[in-house]
Structure 1
């Protein structure tokens, strides 16, 4: 059962292949708002970057050198005359890109702009604008994923070790949570592409979805496995796992259904980022509720046996002997399940 469940989750996780992040302005909201129609009209008659030019801020005395350097950069349609700040210390030069501000070509042009203006030492130039903002936002999100995700996993792992007084169980539980997250992300990405027509996921969806699903999934893990540990002390390992699953199954299922419906309500918002977060979290909660917590984790606990609690020993020797003599909960004879 646990091999089959893990295989299903792994196959679903393959849906993440080819996942693209970063929504352009045209796909930030659903429908056809007037602002998007206006941008499309401008792009049809002017250079693609006309409505959202890049901006170069430099010292006022270096503005002519900056403008001259920009004229030799490929991918620039127009360089406007510099505008001085009110105190005359700084100058702003607007740069119209030949490509759309959200395109890969615009990002490459912006990299060439940075190289050109940063070579003018006395200019102390800074490059801004919509393209630069999108680039730096994506870089910040990538940094957060590299730092926050491992940190969350470590903290949750330490909490599980302290609560369960075991090592094997927390490792297995963390693996199920991560696998469940990628399965939810895989299903969601396929829905975004082929059903909802979204070209990418917003840069913040992966991190926020991970934070929600890991914390919620670990909550269910704690609720189930801590009850298993208590029941194992009184009934033995196998009987304790089954007893705890019976006792907590209804509560976990009900809580998961309510929580999934709550996050699914985000899909009624016009913002694509909210819709994507709602879909990812709702699907992840349903996977956690009906597959991971109901099948995968109990099956793992049963198959691993008492080693699930290594190096702890929630079931003492006397308790194990008494549980074996009394049989499984409910009064059945010790060999009735054979």
Structure 2
């Protein structure tokens, strides 16, 4: 970040606080019960995503491009929950609201990295379903291991570059008044609004960030399913259409639980109480990582068969 700021001029002095104070959940009644729920969700998320990663790793039948992306989704969910939840519990439950300046920016970077990758993972899975249904004969050519790994790597690189710029813009802000962040973590929007110098670059970066990680992925996913529906209506029977859509149920479920709460929050942001906004956003951060592995285990036939096979093999090994 020092190199970033040196490009702005050597004589610029920024007022950086020793710490920020995260206060988003402190005034909510009976908040301790929420922490207990938060911790329960985290444990289920860790166990579920670890299980999905282990199943895909152990079963060679699942070494397909689609499940490479599912593995990455499980990794991102596990990484994101572990980056967010323990720190949130430490801040609020153990009364450690002060977080050092650099630690706060690091916290922001990792939380937003995982949030972005969740969105882009859904884009990759949407593309996989689009090609599998519309171009089934060319699926093995269009969606290969190399292609999927390259796509995942490109998403990671894009997210990291965008967030380095976003965090770099925050380091050029001066904080000469309040250092209280009204959120449950080091939220980008809440931080740059505390600045006492010009925060326009961070504001613009926030808007571009929202378009990049929310609107563009959502539009792509919606258009892909509209195209799937339109194509099936022209060339497939009702039974074939239903069978094709069933292969998308797991992905569609992930899209709904990820995008709908965020869409409601962004749409009704000015009409809902700040506490309700904070709770809704915090739940949006932890509920999808918990539900994603459950949905894939329950709704994906390949994983259900893999789980049964692994359980059967473990049961047989006891008698050897």
For the aligned pair, the TM-score class normalised by the smaller chain equals under 0.3
User: Which one has a larger percent helix, Structure 1 or Structure 2?
Assistant: 2
State the TM-score, normalizing by the size of structure 2.
0.27
Task: Name which one, 1 or 2, has greater alpha-carbon Rg.
Answer: 1
State the TM-score, normalizing by the size of structure 1.
0.26
